[in-house]
């Protein structure tokens, strides 16, 4: 059915407008199919408090049965860089189980995804990219949802 | 032979329908039923094209014919099209009843029925739509009746006030009352009736659920997946409930409990009758008046 995602996204948007956890803000959702959110990370010197990161969400018509595509994007004004993390490639693609087919659950939502990514950054101790980042960024032509990540290190 | 010709015309009609040539398709199906009138599918197909043309009465007739041929227990499509036409004709009660019949027939299909995988979700959504229409119409009616009653009572009070004032004027003219007394009496009459009208309005306002509205739809009637109110909730082993059609859709892709990720299949789900009754009660409470956004 085509209509499920529209209604759900409208209601999600109404719910989070104005009330979001600290460090998470809604930037734009004029196009209901593509939202942008800004993120800051508390208490981690790898991500100083004045560094803001931009997340882009893309929703298919089957959302929330299907996961949203969620990536970091780079901007020059305002400055938004891709955060350094062993599960985040330098092209913004995030390797996080809840964003892929197996890990996603329709009871997740934009807010809970943002919180998961925020806490993934907050608990990170390695100031490095995933192994094989340069090769992956050069060769990858797939959309995030079509990539089958291997979660080689579930501890990170 | 006639049935074969009818079948040919029906196929041409289907092709026209696929191309969006609805008038053409309608015409071809009409020729088909003229050749052979015992094929229920021709009627359902014509009903579908007439839905596109918004010829509601034609849809109702075609669906009735189709159901007459197949019997009432295995024709989910005809009931679904019928429901849409009834909604188009502003008969939400009939529409809801047809939609529920269609939904039940998809849920417990007749062995011969051809159910498409998208049917359950589409029909479930439509049941909800009819439900909203039904309760919105009922609540609108009630408000209008309430408004009419209030207007009538206010009118009666006004008329009574006028009679009392006329009586004072008449007594004054007959000399039974002095000027000062008459003015005093008139003032008293006016203030008494104004008070009555005010308290009448207060009473009606207090009885109007739209005036002291609970703003939030209670979470227990909301399906956690679509964020829509539920009408056929089912419960998992872990005690959480979801709308049947949406959890089915999730389980098709991932046979896991959405909250715990434990293995979960359709067979593990049970209807949640208590919650279903609570959802009904929620609709019945006049909720459609204060839920701004369906």
Residue A117 domain flag: yes
Q: To the nearest whole number, what is the mean pLDDT of chain B?
A: 89
- Parallel, antiparallel, or unpaired: how do β-strands B233-235 and A69-73 relate? unpaired
Same domain, B255 and B203: no
Residue B122 has which token pair? Answer: 């589409």
Give the CATH number, domain containing residue A53: 3.10.110.10
- Parallel, antiparallel, or unpaired: how do β-strands B270-271 and B241-243 relate? unpaired
The pLDDT value recorded for residue B277 is: 94
Q: Could you tell me which residues of chain B have a Cβ less than 8 Å from any Cβ in chain A?
A: 118, 121-122, 125, 224-228, 246, 249-250, 253-254, 256, 258-259, 261, 293
Spatial distance between the Cα atoms of B188 and B196, rounded to a whole number of angstroms:
12
Q: Is A2 on the interface with B (CB under 8 A)?
A: no
Same domain, B203 and B223: no
Q: Could you identify the residue written with the tokens 């390695």? A: A126
The pLDDT value recorded for residue B141 is: 83
Residue A73 domain flag: yes
Asked if B254's CB is within 8 angstroms of A1's CB, the reply is: no
The total number of structural domains in chain B stands at: 3
Residue B162 domain flag: yes
Assess contact for B69 and B62: CB atoms under 8 A.
no
Asked if A7's CB is within 8 angstroms of B226's CB, the reply is: yes
Asked if A106's CB is within 8 angstroms of B246's CB, the reply is: yes
Q: Is A3 on the interface with B (CB under 8 A)?
A: yes
Q: Give tens-digit pLDDT for B148-181.
A: 888 889 899 999 999 999 998 888 888 888 888 8
Same domain, B230 and B147: no
At A75 the three-state DSSP class reads: strand
Looking at chain A, the whole-number percentage of residues with pLDDT higher than 90 is 63
- Burial degree of B157 (CB within 10 A; 0-12, 13-18, 19+): middle
Specify which residues A69 forms β-bridges with: A58
CB contacts under 8 A, A 63-102 vs B, are 64-66, 101-102
Spatial distance between the Cα atoms of A39 and A80, rounded to a whole number of angstroms:
10
Question: Is residue A101's pLDDT more than 60?
Answer: yes
Assess contact for B45 and B10: CB atoms under 8 A.
yes
- Helices A4-16, A110-122: inter-axial angle, 10-degree rounding: 60
ipTM of the complex: 0.75
**A78 cis-preceded (ω within 30 degrees of 0):** yes
Question: Is residue B195's pLDDT more than 50?
Answer: yes
User: What's the rounded mean pLDDT across residues A125-150?
Assistant: 81
Confidence band for A147, pLDDT divided at 50, 70 and 90: confident
The total number of structural domains in chain A stands at: 1
Residue B125 has which token pair? Answer: 């959504």
Spatial distance between the Cα atoms of A19 and A96, rounded to a whole number of angstroms:
25
The pLDDT value recorded for residue A109 is: 94
What's the alpha-carbon Rg for chain A, to the nearest Å? 15
Q: Print the domain residue range for A101.
A: 4-130
Give the CATH number, domain containing residue B249: 3.30.40.10
Alpha helices in chain B (DSSP H): 2-18, 22-35, 40-52, 56-70, 76-88, 92-107, 119-174, 179-207, 244-253, 273-284
Q: Which has the higher per-residue pLDDT, B292 or B45?
A: B45
Mutate to test the interface with A, among B120, B219, B227 (most CBs of A within 10 A): B227
Residue B236 domain flag: yes
The pLDDT value recorded for residue B265 is: 94
Asked if B125's CB is within 8 angstroms of A1's CB, the reply is: yes
Asked if B125's CB is within 8 angstroms of A3's CB, the reply is: yes
Q: Which has the higher per-residue pLDDT, B135 or B244?
A: B244
A3 Cβ contact list (under 8 Å, min separation 6)? B125
- Parallel, antiparallel, or unpaired: how do β-strands A24-28 and B270-271 relate? unpaired
B102 Cβ contact list (under 8 Å, min separation 6)? B76, B77, B79, B80, B83, B123, B126
Contacts of A10 in chain B (CB under 8 A): 293
Considering B207, B238, B265, which residue would you say is the last residue of a domain?
B207
Q: Is A44 on the interface with B (CB under 8 A)?
A: no
The pLDDT value recorded for residue B212 is: 46
Nearest CB partner across the interface for A8, out of B227, B254, B293: B227
Residue A147 has which token pair? Answer: 């990539």
Q: To the nearest whole number, what is the mean pLDDT of chain A?
A: 88
Residue A8 domain flag: yes
Q: Print the domain residue range for B258.
A: 219-289
User: What's the rounded mean pLDDT across residues B289-293?
Assistant: 58
Q: How far is A125 from chain B (nearest CA, A)?
A: 28
The pLDDT value recorded for residue B239 is: 92
How many contacts does A have with B, using Cβ atoms within 8 A?
46
Q: What is the 3-state secondary structure (H, E, C) of A88-107?
A: ECCCCEECCHHHCCCCCCCC
Residue A76 domain flag: yes
Same domain, B39 and B19: yes
Q: Which has the higher per-residue pLDDT, B111 or B232?
A: B232
Measured between its terminal Cα atoms, the distance across chain A in Å is: 37
B179 Cβ contact list (under 8 Å, min separation 6)? B172
Confidence band for A1, pLDDT divided at 50, 70 and 90: very low
Indicate if the alpha-carbon torsion angle B119, B83, B101, B34 is positive or negative. negative
Q: Which has the higher per-residue pLDDT, B147 or B225?
A: B225
Residue A141 has which token pair? Answer: 């032509």
Report the chain A residue with the minimal C-alpha distance to residue B257. A105
């Amino acid at each position: 059915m085509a209509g499920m995602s529209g209604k759900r996204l409208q209601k999600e948007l109404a719910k989070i407008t104005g009330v979001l956890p600290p460090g998470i803000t809604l930037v734009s959702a004029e196009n209901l199919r593509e939202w942008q959110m800004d993120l800051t990370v508390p208490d981690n010197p790898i991500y100083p408090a004045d560094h803001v990161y931009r997340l882009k969400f893309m929703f298919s018509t089957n959302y929330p049965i299907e996961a949203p595509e969620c990536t970091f994007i780079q901007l020059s004004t305002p400055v938004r860089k891709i955060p350094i993390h062993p599960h985040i490639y330098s092209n913004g693609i995030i390797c996080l189980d809840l964003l892929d087919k197996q890990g996603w659950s329709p009871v997740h939502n934009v807010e809970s995804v943002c919180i998961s990514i925020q806490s993934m950054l907050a608990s990170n101790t390695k100031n490095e990219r995933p192994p094989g980042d340069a090769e992956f960024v050069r060769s990858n032509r797939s959309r995030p949802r079509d990539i089958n990540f291997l979660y080689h290190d579930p501890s990170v | 032979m006639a049935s074969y010709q009818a079948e040919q015309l029906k196929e041409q009609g289907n092709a026209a329908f696929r191309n969006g040539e609805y008038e053409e398709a309608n015409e071809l199906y009409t020729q088909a039923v003229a050749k052979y009138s015992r094929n229920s599918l021709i009627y359902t197909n014509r009903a579908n094209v007439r839905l596109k043309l918004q010829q509601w009465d034609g849809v109702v007739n075609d669906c009735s014919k189709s159901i007459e041929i197949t019997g009432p227990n295995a024709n989910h499509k005809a009931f679904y099209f019928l429901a849409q036409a009834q909604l188009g004709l502003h008969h939400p009660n009939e529409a809801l009843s047809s939609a529920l019949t269609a939904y039940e027939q998809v849920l417990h299909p007749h062995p011969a029925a051809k159910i498409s995988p998208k049917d359950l979700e589409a029909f479930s959504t439509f049941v909800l739509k009819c439900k909203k229409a039904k309760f919105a119409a009922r609540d609108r009616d009630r408000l209008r009746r309430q408004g009419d009653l209030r207007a009538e009572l206010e009118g009666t009070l006004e008329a009574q006030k006028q009679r009392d004032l006329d009586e004072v004027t008449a007594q004054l003219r007959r000399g039974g009352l002095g000027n000062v007394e008459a003015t005093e009496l008139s003032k008293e009459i006016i203030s008494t009736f104004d008070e009555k009208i005010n308290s009448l309005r207060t009473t009606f306002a207090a009885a109007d659920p739209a005036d002291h509205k609970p703003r939030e739809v209670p979470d227990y009637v909301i399906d956690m997946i679509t964020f829509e109110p539920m009408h056929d909730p089912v419960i998992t082993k872990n005690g959480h409930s979801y709308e049947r059609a949406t959890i089915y859709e999730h389980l098709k892709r991932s046979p896991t409990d959405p909250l715990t990720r434990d293995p979960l299949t359709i067979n593990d789900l049970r209807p949640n009758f208590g919650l279903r009754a609570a959802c009904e009660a929620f609709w019945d409470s006049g909720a459609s008046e204060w839920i701004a956004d369906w």
